[in-house]
Amino acid sequence: MSVGTEIMYGEAMVPDAEWECYLNQKWNRDIVTGETARFPELTPQPEIDQRPHKVSFYVEKDKAMKVIKDLPQCLEKYGLDVKIIYSSGIALDVLPRRAGKGQALAYLLKKFEAKGCVPSNTLVCGDSGNDAELFTVPAVHGVMVSNAQEELLEWYSENAKNNHQIIHATERCAAGIIQAIGTFSLGPNVSPRDIRDSLKCTVELCNPGHEVVKFYLFYERWRRGEVERSDHFINNLRLHFNSMGTFVHPSGIEIPFSQCIDELANSYGDQLGKQFRVWVDRVSVAQICSDTWLVKFDKCELCGKDRECRVTTVLLSSRHAKLPGEFMWIYMHQTWSDGLLSGEEDQRPRLF
Class of domain 192-336: alpha beta
125 neighbors 180 (Cβ within 8 angstroms): yes
| Domain ranges within the chain, ordered by starting residue | 8-96, 120-183, 192-336
- Domain 8-96 in this protein, CATH class: alpha beta
pLDDT of residue 349: 52
pLDDT, position 342: 44
pLDDT score at 345 = 43
Q: What is the pLDDT at residue 343?
A: 45
Residue 71 parent element (H or E): helix 61-76
Q: What pairs with residue 329 in β-bridges?
A: 241, 316
The one-character DSSP state at 322 is S
CATH class of the domain comprising 120-183? alpha beta
Concatenated DSSP letters for 202-225? -GGG-SHHHHHHHHHHHHHHHHTT
The reported pLDDT for the residue numbered 129 is: 87
- Output the pLDDT for position 305: 84
Q: What is the pLDDT of residue 265?
A: 95
Q: What is the pLDDT of residue 324?
A: 64
Question: Across the 352 residues of the chain, what is the mean pLDDT of every consecutive 10-residue run?
Answer: 94 93 96 95 95 96 92 95 91 95 95 91 92 92 93 88 89 92 87 54 63 91 93 92 94 94 94 91 91 94 89 90 78 82 48 78
Query: Cβ distance 286 to 294 under 8 Å?
Result: yes
